[in-house]
Amino acid sequence: MSSLSELRALLGEPVRRQSGPDDWADVEQHVGSALPGDFKAFLDAYGGGVISGELAVFHPCGPAPLLDRMRTTHQVFAERRDKALGRGDAEHVPHPFHPEPGGLISWGYDYSGDEHFFLPCAADPGQWKIVTMVHEEGCETFDGSFSHFALAFVRRLLDVDRYHGIDPDALEFLEPEDLEELVAAGEIGPVQPSFEPF
């Protein structure tokens, strides 16, 4: 089973949406390349929205268009990189941002404050890696496709401690029944795979 199929199995079948053959034309013209096929297939099926209450992804059409977000994100991060390079702090932003050659291409973010990009490191977009700018303090590279990354993200949220998400200092003030109430309400603990459209 492909990672895209596994991801769909965890998230459930998407609500049918209308996708047109030209949906990606403006984005890919702006980027100067096709985007990874699994990314487009996922977004064409689900649309823009939030995976597992945490990972926001954007389709070219709809209330939060991908191209608008790309332009803004690339400009903001390019300015931050210029400032970092001026301070001699290049280690935290080792990659340029689109439209610079080989620049990172924005596709989403998570509610922890991390931004996610494609690293166009091969002629075939299916071979591109994922780079995460971690809280603007550095980056991590994921050597895999969008669907592998999203699947790993969903599994990581599903496989956390029962009391994950609560301040350890607060544990001493909460009764066991209070903790169980928070778990039952989904406010702490593992996050069930889901997709919520914008």
CB neighbour burial string for 165-190, b if at least 16 within 10 angstroms, e if fewer: ebeeeeeeeeeeeebeebbeeeebbb
Instruction: Report domain 3-149+193-197's class.
Output: alpha beta
The one-letter amino acid at 122? A
Mean pLDDT, the chain, whole residue set? 87
* Per-residue pLDDT band at 26 (split at 50, 70, 90): very high
> Above pLDDT 90, what percent of the chain?
59
First-residue to last-residue Cα distance in the chain: 28
Domain ranges of the chain: 3-149+193-197
Residue 121: strand, helix, or coil: coil
> How far apart are alpha carbons 113 and 73 in whole angstroms?
13
Tell me the pLDDT tens digit for each residue of 167-198: 667 667 767 776 667 666 666 556 789 999 99
pLDDT value, residue 15: 77
> How far apart are alpha carbons 53 and 41 in whole angstroms?
20
- Which class for 194: exposed (0-12), middle (13-18), buried (19 or more C-beta within 10 A)? middle
Predicted TM-score (pTM) of the model is 0.84
Tell me the pLDDT tens digit for each residue of 107-119: 999 998 999 999 9
What tokens appear for 104 in the block? 């990172």
pLDDT value, residue 92: 74
Higher model confidence: residue 187 or residue 20?
20
